Every structure is written in structure tokens, then in C-alpha cells.
Amino acid sequence: MSKTRTFLTVVADSNGEVFEHPDLLMAGMNGLTLCRPEVDEMIPLPEGSRLFTIPQTPPIGFDRHSGKPRTITRLPKSWGGDALQAVSAFVTPAFTRTLLPAADYLNKPVELTLWSYTAVGWCIEEERFYVAAVRVDRNRQWEPQHFDDRKLEPLVRKRVASQPDNRLLEQLSRCALDYHCFAAKNLFFGRWEAPLPCSPACNAQCVGCISLQDEPKACQASQDRLDFVPTVDEICNLAIPHLQHAENAIVSFGQGCEGDPIMQADTVAAAIRKMRLQTDRGTINFNTNASIPDAIDKLAAAGVDSIRVSLNSVQERFYTPYYRPRDYCFADVLESIRRARQNGLFTMLNYLVFPGITDRKDEIEELVKLVEEYGIDMIQMRNLSIDPVVYWSALGAEGTGIGMKKMLDLVKQRIPRIQYGYFNRTREMFYPPGYQEDWPLPARL
């Protein structure tokens, strides 16, 4: 028998102190529509997650007595009358959020930072935070406890001293120490997935691009974009030792701190050829907007193993206003996916999830068609980081979805071979044993 759980709205005062509101039951949002969380989409706040306030944006919940929606701008006078702000969770990677925090986004005076906003509540019975999210990946290598900076710093110093003229190494040392990029840290720890950023340019202008935003703008890019193209040697001097020696070695082009590596397809292909002349070990992955189909053929011929194609939607009417492609169109992305599979690459979508868009009936139908027709192997369900109102207006969206958990279950029912995930994989783990039945994953592994 399932336990009864009551979730209260989590709010913050003007000093950022977070607490539960005793009179308000938790609500969530699917797109911009208020809803009650479903029992099976609420899980205890995963380890490594954080809470943060949504500035100048009052929370919405359901009145505990009348059951009606209420926007609360202030605490009662008897409690000091302070202004209230909504609270969001940043859910640790491996989990896909299913609801946005319920808040009065339409009247807020500020544009929100490029973070992924997730509904959080306070469970009265268990006295702990719960979030609306689903675990989609078993991999625990990206949990914060594996990234201890005290061990990292001497490794970074030693490695940089060994290649003082390598600009890419210098860049990644800053990514590891200043931006706390876990992938960059992996390079210096000599393990798992390491990044190979290589492109200052991009042929899209995503509304929520994390490496470049028009200035001045409230939703500033969270990272500075790489400003040079590394040489084949600069790339290979990092990639080859990693492929040769690292545990579960993956090297990945296409990072949050660059444009799109497809713009440097010739350099990347030359680097991959050189890597594969030196070693067969490890996995070479290419994260991209997949805008240039001919580049996919080149990269496949050079020896890339897997490709991850970024999409906020599988419908052109939502894709184009978000990606704002400059010299390509949605059909090119589809053609690239077709060629990736034709060339035998393990093909993944980097599906930028937003409740209210990803779980719409028309989106689900198109997704199922795409996965079946093009033979996509895996969908990485990654939370799109953006102000909900900015996204909603950019897309001209309307209506609601059926719920993210239902969407995930439905797609898996219709295509049992599809794999969900959050992270790139080594070649050995492309098709792990039992993957067809491996759903749903328990929230705690």
C-alpha cells in the first residue's frame, strides 16, 4: 500500500531563508499551467541537488482549506509581512524534472538566469524535501563527491607544466578550477569522459545558449565561450593519452563552453584520424547541433563512435524559434541523424526537456516517429535551463502536456528498445544487458 504524503509549498523570505508555507499545498507547472503533482512523480530530493530562490517571483500553491490556487506575495503581518519568493530545486544530473516550480512568472520584473527550474515541496510526514523528477541514468560517476578540488589542483598544475604551450590545456585548466566543469576535471583526474572544446563559432543562436548571449541581457551566458580553434596537435596531445590510459575513457567534442564543433569538422576529423592511428582504445563522441550532414560523413569516416544531437523539440515549429538557425534548417538536422545511423554511429538525442513542450501529444507522436524511422538508440533527457516565460514566448507555445512521467512511460511502451539516459557512454555500454526492460529506474540506486 502506498504511503500518504502531503507536500507543502516551499517559499523563501527576502533574505533567501527557505521554509515551508503551512497553509499552502505544493503546486507545479506544466508549461505555464498550474497543476497538482502526481504521486509517482515526487521523489526525495536527490543527493547533490540544491535549492535556490526565484528572485522577485511570488510562489503559487493550493490553499490547504479551500483547495483553490493562491499566489502569496507576502508573509502574514503576524509573521512580519516580509515579501516572499518562489523556490526552485537544481536537481543533480541523472534526474529529469517533471514539473516547473509554480510561481507568478508572468508578472515578474526580471528575466531569470539560465538555470533549470524544478518544482520542490516539503513532505510533512517525512520532514524532508521532495522534487518532481525521474531518474533516467544509472551512472553515478557525475556525483559531486567524485570531484574533490584538493586532489585536483596539484594534478592541474603538473599537467599544465608538462605542456606549457598547449592553449587547449590551459583553457581546460580554467574550466576545471574556475568554472568547476566536471568533464574538465575528469581530464586531469585521467578518467571517464573528458572534453575537447574546439569551436568558437556556431551557426545557431539558441535563445538559451549558455556560452553566448547578446549583451546587455539579464539572462547572461553562464560560461565564456572558447575564443580560438585548437590545432590537431593541441587536441591530440590531450586526447590520445586519455584514450590510451583512462578508466572508461571517452573524449567528447561539443561542450557547453564553445560554439558547435561541426563548424570545425575538418580539424576534428583530422584529430580523430590521428587518435585512431595511435589507439583503438576508448570512445570518441561528438556532441552537436547536427546542422551539416556532409560533416557527419567525414567524422564517421575518420572514426567517431557516437554522436549526440541537440534538439529542444522534434517539431520544426518549436525547433526553429529556439535554435534560430542561420544557414541551415531543421531538415538538415534530420538528414544528419539519418547519415549518423547509416554510418553505424551510436546515435543519441540531447533532448532539452521542458514540461509542457516535451510531453505534448503532438511532440510525443513526432518523437516516436523520429526514433523509429531514424533508428535513434538513446534519448538523453536533459533539463533545459531557461526562464520559463522567455521560452514559452519564444516558441509561441500554448496548451499543456500529458505529464513528463506519462510521456516517458508511453514512449518506452511503444519502443521498448529505446534507452533513456543523461550521460554519454563508452562503446562497451552502448547496449548494456537488460536495457530493454530497464525502466523505470528506482530514484535511489
Cβ of residue 145: shortest distance to ligand SF4, in angstroms?
29
**Cell 530514484 appears where?**
443
Cβ of residue 99: shortest distance to ligand SF4, in angstroms?
24
By CB neighbour count within 10 A (0-12 exposed, 13-18 middle, 19+ buried), where does 413 fall? exposed
Of residues 326 and 417, the one with the C-beta less far from ligand SF4 = 326
Of residues 87 and 381, the one with the C-beta less far from ligand SF4 = 381
Cβ of residue 215: shortest distance to ligand SF4, in angstroms?
15
Query: Is residue 383 at the binding interface for ligand SF4, with CB under 6 A as the rule?
Result: no
Query: Is residue 349 at the binding interface for ligand SF4, with CB under 6 A as the rule?
Result: no
Applying CB under 6 A, the site for ligand SF4 has a residue count of 9
429-439 b/e (C-beta count within 10 Å ≥ 16 → b):
bbeeeebeeeb
CB contact at 8 A, 122 and 12? no
Of residues 119 and 206, the one with the C-beta less far from ligand SF4 = 206
CB contact at 8 A, 370 and 330? no
Q: Which residues from 273-292 bind ligand SF4, rule CB under 6 A?
A: 289
Cβ of residue 278: shortest distance to ligand SF4, in angstroms?
29
**3 state DSSP class of 69:** strand
| Residue 110 to residue 107: CA distance in whole angstroms | 9
Of residues 196 and 246, the one with the C-beta less far from ligand SF4 = 196
Of residues 102 and 379, the one with the C-beta less far from ligand SF4 = 379
The radius of gyration of the chain's CA atoms, rounded to the nearest angstrom, is 22
Nearest to 225 by CA among 170, 288, 163, 171: 171
Query: Is residue 343 at the binding interface for ligand SF4, with CB under 6 A as the rule?
Result: no
Cβ of residue 408: shortest distance to ligand SF4, in angstroms?
24
CB contact at 8 A, 5 and 126? yes
Backbone torsion region of residue 26, taken as left when φ is above 0, otherwise alpha when ψ lies between -120 and 50, otherwise beta: beta
Query: Is residue 96 at the binding interface for ligand SF4, with CB under 6 A as the rule?
Result: no
Q: Which residues from 182-241 bind ligand SF4, rule CB under 6 A?
A: 202, 204-206, 209, 211
User: Between 31 and 50, how does the x/- string for binding to ligand SF4 read (CB under 6 A)?
Assistant: --------------------
Q: 310: which strand partners? A: 350
Amino acid in the structure at residue 135: R
**Cell 511503444 appears where?**
414
Query: Is residue 335 at the binding interface for ligand SF4, with CB under 6 A as the rule?
Result: no
Query: Is residue 59 at the binding interface for ligand SF4, with CB under 6 A as the rule?
Result: no
What backbone phi and psi angles, to 5 degrees, belong to 71? Answer: -95, 125
CB contact at 8 A, 341 and 375? yes
Of residues 186 and 289, the one with the C-beta less far from ligand SF4 = 289
CB contact at 8 A, 49 and 142? no
Cβ of residue 297: shortest distance to ligand SF4, in angstroms?
20
For the chain, the residue count is 445
Cβ of residue 204: shortest distance to ligand SF4, in angstroms?
4
Cβ of residue 133: shortest distance to ligand SF4, in angstroms?
23
∠ CA 415-416-422, rounded to 5°? 90
Cβ of residue 353: shortest distance to ligand SF4, in angstroms?
15
User: Between 288 and 317, how does the x/- string for binding to ligand SF4 read (CB under 6 A)?
Assistant: -x----------------------------
Residues binding ligand SF4 (CB under 6 A) = 202, 204-206, 209, 211, 259-260, 289
